[in-house]
Structure 1
Amino acid sequence: MAAMATRATRPAPDWERQVDDVPAALAVSGGLCVVACARGGVHLLDVVTGQAIAKLWLPGGAHRVGFSPDGAVAAVAGPCGYALWRVADGAVLMRATDDPARFAWADGNLCAVAYGGSVVVYDAASGVERWRPVDGAVPVDDLTWFDRGRSVAAAVGGDVYAYSARGRVAAWSYPAPVRVLAGGTDGAWLCAAGDGPGVFIRGVGGTSEDLPTPTPALIDGLALDESGQWLAAQSDGGLTVWDLAARGGRMRPKPRRLDASIGLGVAAWRPTARGAVIATGGGDGAVAVWDARAGSVRRAASPSVRWYAGAPVTALAWAGSEVLVYADAAGRVTARAPE
């Protein structure tokens, strides 16, 4: 009985670790945290203690990182290349590129990597190339998985195309050129934004819906929560959210403004078990937690919790539903449970 009580009351992670570079992105899966840094250092940390486990070097720098759905492989992308890092044994597939790279994970542990005008799909466990959906001269602006991982959607030249292993299966044109994408967890629809205000939603069956934003600012980042119900769009350092449960009905999803001042990509939805909560990191050093159901088109919501890191926040991610891991421009990586 005493042992059971000890496990039940074990304190949440609460630590701070210094790394030797400016963190640009981080990701958490299970008991592991991976931090990608501007000069190319990629640190693997224990999420409970903050202890360093391993380190990888990506020449040219690292600006994106993310775990496979099963947590076995970390994808890292930077201005001059990318890597797939199998954390159990340290095996690494690394490629140099002439253009910045980005990636997207599918539920089946396939990783699609885009650089220049190419998209390559890898088997995460083996690092073997499975197929190459796109290989052209026009740069790929963004990519995401579609149709339950059976195809890859890529924003190319302002339009969006979906490719399976057998070739192109769909194409979409938009009122304005598209630069950023996000895919719903059911794989049946895509969110897109770019060189015009608002978000465009397109479905497998030909359905469509355009979501207006409260301001004409262009959107430079989209983030869906794990349920696919809540969508966040970043523009001009601020955040607008929609409840997509009303999508396709008589009542169109209405935007809710959050009074956030954030950097690009520094926002993360809490796991769906707790729902409708998003965390942000700001250039002023603020880390904030928001209830996405608050606020309206006319009235911006305020955070339910806010504290300051002491330097601009450059990355953050949830470790479960109770703990935030965040990094700042001073090279600190911190785990903290919001009060």
Structure 2
Amino acid sequence: MSAPALDVPLAWEATVEDAPVALSVRAGTVAVAGADGRVWTLDAAAGSVRPALELPGGALAVALSPDGRHLVATGPTGYGVHDRDTGRTVLTETGAWSATAVWADGGQRVAVARGRQALVLDAQGEQQWATAPAPSTVTDLAWLRGGRRLAVAAYGAVRCHERHTAEPVISYPYTGSHLALAVAPTGRWICSGNQDASIHIWRTRDASELTMSGYREKVSRLAFDDTGFWLAADGAPDVTVWDFSGKGPAGTAPRSLSAHRKVTALAWRPGGAGHLATGGDDGTLALWHATSGRPQARLSPARTLPGGSAVSALAWAGSELLVVAYRDGAVRAVQVPPGVTL
């Protein structure tokens, strides 16, 4: 039986003049980055659109600071830092692949991938320190220990650096290409989604490790929920959800969430209710109670919203507003009130 159509209202709809590739939502502000390098900010309450910057060479990712004042956009040839209050933009063309950016210290610092290095900048874009070059291009970054340690994913390992420490203080090896990182909010687990269609897991306490293989496609999207007990991943037409409570997922099977021809976006709803939003290349949007059922259960979505263009990114603006970007330039916000039962 198909899932019921989404019976919650559309809060607003806007259009940007580029194909969105990434979303970031913080402090009532939405940032949308397009493939050609144009970046906009939108009011999360009303959807009004304001140009922010244009990144030469195109964009890959965008990250708003926690207070929503600053944003960093990264792309194939460099990165840009924008101050929304003053309108000041600093563009840095490095000629090196800049895959992502992640904020720390409440928005005082941001780590940016630049080729085989990670740079740590202040909020104005001034470099504070840099990691030593990794063996290959940095593909993802994550902060641990409240922003005191930076995890850097590149071929062969996830390497962790303390502040102002160019050489890694600890490495978590895995022979393969890492595409995505997810760190549990508790700091207990580091997970990488990999080119070889696997998820590799390290327990930070003792560096014990586990590989979950057998995915049909490369795993390029990973996300922990706010509790740190559940990890959602792509890598197949289904989304898999692994249970990290207790001793972790070793010897267990995931739940499978089946709704899309191909998964293109996923995002946990803030809080610990186990609600997950997913989007597909067929334009469908699905909401799940993703932690229900038992291991090996194949779940159906609690609510679905059909669409036209492919979903390119999802992000929650608090727990009651889901922002969705579509490949054709549409950006929509869907209201999901607390009373809506999934």
Normalized against structure 1, the TM-score is what? 0.87
Aligned residues: 326
Which of 290, 293, 299 is equivalent to 1:292?
290
**What residue number does 1:58 align with?**
55
Structure 1 equivalent of residue 268 of structure 2 = 269
SS of the aligned residue for 2:245 comes to: helix
Correspondence for 1:206:
206
- Of residues 258-267 and 233-242 in structure 1, the stretch that sits farther from structure 2 once superposed is 258-267
**In the alignment, does 2:261 pair up with 1:259?**
no
| Structure 2: 5+ residue stretches without partners | 1-7
* Structural mapping, 1:44-123, within 5 Å: 44-101=41-98, 102-109=100-107, 110-123=109-122
Residue 155 of structure 1: aligned partner: 153
Match of 1:8 in 2: none
CA apart distance, 1:296? 4.9
Change (3 A) 1:69 1:288: same
Q: Give CA deviations for 1:220-261 in whole Å, capped at 9, x if unaligned.
A: 221122332221111034311112112359x75541111042
Higher relative contact order (CA 8 A, sep 6+): 2
- Residue 236 of structure 1 corresponds to 236
In the alignment, what sits opposite 1:7? none
Bigger Cα displacement from structure 2, 183-192 vs 203-212: 203-212
**Letter matched to residue 113 of structure 2:** A
**Alpha-carbon distance between aligned partners in 2 of 1:326 and 1:313, rounded to the nearest angstrom:** 7
Percent identity of the aligned residues?
Answer: 36
d(CA) in 1 for partners of 2:33 and 2:262? 16
1:101-180 → structure 2 map (5 Å cutoff): 101=98, 102-109=100-107, 110-124=109-123, 126-135=124-133, 138-164=136-162, 165-166=164-165, 167-174=167-174, 176-180=176-180
The one-letter amino acid paired with 1:270 is R
1:16 partnered with 2:16? no
Deviation sequence 1:94-144 (CA, Å, 0-9, x none): 2113233122222443211112112100122x3221110133563223222
**8 Å Cα contact 1:266/1:281 also seen in 2:** yes
- CA drift of 1:185 comes to 2.0
One-letter code aligned to 2:318? G
1:12-65 Cα shifts (integer Å, max 9, x gaps): 871111211111111111221111111111111111111123432111222211
User: Secondary structure at the residue paired with 2:168?
Assistant: strand
TM-score, normalising length: structure 2: 0.86
8 Å Cα contact 1:120-1:134 kept in structure 2: no
Contact between 2:157 and 2:175, CA under 8 Å: does it hold in 1?
no
Instruction: Return the alpha-carbon distance in structure 2 between the equivalents of residues 28 and 195 of structure 1.
Output: 28
Going from structure 1 to structure 2, the CA distance change for 1:71 and 1:134 (only over 3 Å counts) comes to: farther
Q: Is the 8 A contact 1:178 1:194 kept in 2?
A: yes
Q: Is the 8 A contact 2:141 2:153 kept in 1?
A: yes
| RMSD (Å), alpha carbons | 2.5
2:39 to 42, 48, 59: 42
Tell me how far 1:174 sits from its aligned partner: 2.5
